[in-house]
């Protein structure tokens, strides 16, 4: 059976200096009503992933390696709807989007556009006034 829950909110906790194991991050997931769904555990690349689990109270714990963290957070920030799924028989977990139109392009985020503008301005300053005379 596949358990599927809509994710409406999330929070992130990253640990440093923690010597108690291979998990150093948590992405806590909440449904549209604000109820806690469970967490995505972030595991060091060098370690095996723990088994995904659904506890008797329905709470999910699914695990990804640290290399997946940026893509995971990008998906949570930029996509809607988001679902977390857990296969109770095969024990796999996933986070994914709903159906989107083919060819849909995401608008560039403002920080990226600002960064590119700042890089261009810096390059113009470094090139000096001679570069603008061409």
Mean pLDDT for 99-112 is: 63
Is the pLDDT score of 120 beyond 50?
no
Is the pLDDT score of 31 beyond 60?
yes
Identify which has the larger pLDDT, 118 or 15.
15
Is the pLDDT score of 45 beyond 80?
yes
What pLDDT score was predicted for residue 117?
A: 45
Is the pLDDT score of 128 beyond 70?
no
Q: Whole-angstrom distance between the N-terminal and C-terminal Cα of the chain?
A: 67
What pLDDT score was predicted for residue 99?
A: 81
Looking at the DSSP assignment, which residues form a beta bridge with residue 38? 29, 60
Report which of 30, 25, 89 is spatially closest to residue 59, judged by C-alpha positions.
30
The CA distances from residue 121 to 114, 116, 130, in Å, are 11, 9, 15
What is the bridge-based pairing of β-strands 82-87 and 93-97?
A: antiparallel
CA distance 27 to 84: 12
What pLDDT score was predicted for residue 19?
A: 65
Tell me the pLDDT tens digit for each residue of 55-105: 999 999 999 999 999 999 999 999 989 999 999 999 999 999 988 778 766
What pLDDT score was predicted for residue 103?
A: 74
> Could you say which DSSP state residue 20 is in?
S
Tell me the pLDDT tens digit for each residue of 8-19: 999 999 988 776
pTM here? 0.74
Give residue limits of the domains in the chain.
2-97
What pLDDT score was predicted for residue 92?
A: 96
């Amino acid at each position: 059976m596949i358990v599927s829950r809509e994710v409406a909110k999330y929070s992130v906790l990253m640990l440093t200096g923690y010597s108690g194991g291979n998990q150093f991050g948590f992405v806590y997931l909440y449904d549209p009503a604000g109820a806690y769904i469970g967490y995505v555990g972030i595991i060091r690349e060098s370690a095996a992933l723990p088994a995904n689990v659904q506890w008797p109270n329905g709470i999910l714990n699914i695990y990804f390696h640290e290399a997946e963290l940026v893509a995971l957070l990008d998906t949570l920030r930029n996509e809607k709807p988001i679902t977390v799924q857990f296969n109770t028989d095969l024990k796999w977990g996933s986070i994914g989007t709903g159906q989107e139109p083919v060819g849909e392009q995401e608008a560039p985020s403002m920080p990226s556009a600002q960064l590119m503008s700042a890089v261009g301005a810096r390059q113009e300053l470094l090139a000096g006034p001679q570069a603008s005379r061409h």
